[in-house]
Amino acid sequence: MAEEAYFKKPRANWYVFIETDTYVIWLDLITWLKELDFTKPLYLVVGLMHGETYFAQGGSGYILSNSAINMLLGPEQPKGLAASWDVKMDGECCGDVALAKALYE
């Protein structure tokens, strides 16, 4: 999902991922995001621990800054990040955990 969003809009300041049952007050969110620096690698979440990995509890969504998503998918990074995680996902409970691990790498 992150890979598809990035390749559709590689210059977006923020990437907001929410579940279909989540309600967002967009004006408040946009106002708040304008106060933050999208050029810094920010991973904004309601976090949980899974083993030693701090990750986004997906039900409440998460936000990646342009800088953070570029660390994963930018022009300097190898292509096919999502496919490279297929094997690593074996035994993982959640895609959210895999994304957090990819960010930490």
CA atoms within 13 A on the CB side of 1: 14
Domain annotation for the chain: domains and CATH numbers: 2-104 (3.90.550.50)
Q: What is the pLDDT of residues 44-75, one digit of tens each?
A: 876 666 677 666 666 778 899 999 988 888 77
Question: Quick one: pLDDT at residue 91?
Answer: 67
Q: What is the pLDDT of residues 31-48, one digit of tens each?
A: 999 999 999 999 887 666
Can you read off the two tokens belonging to residue 88?
């690593």
DSSP 33-75: HTTS-TTS--EEE-EEEETTEEEE-GGG-EEEEHHHHHHHHST
Report how far residue 89's alpha carbon sits from residue 95's, in angstroms, rounded to the nearest whole number: 8
Report how far residue 88's alpha carbon sits from residue 47's, in angstroms, rounded to the nearest whole number: 21
Which whole number is the average pLDDT over 70-95?
68
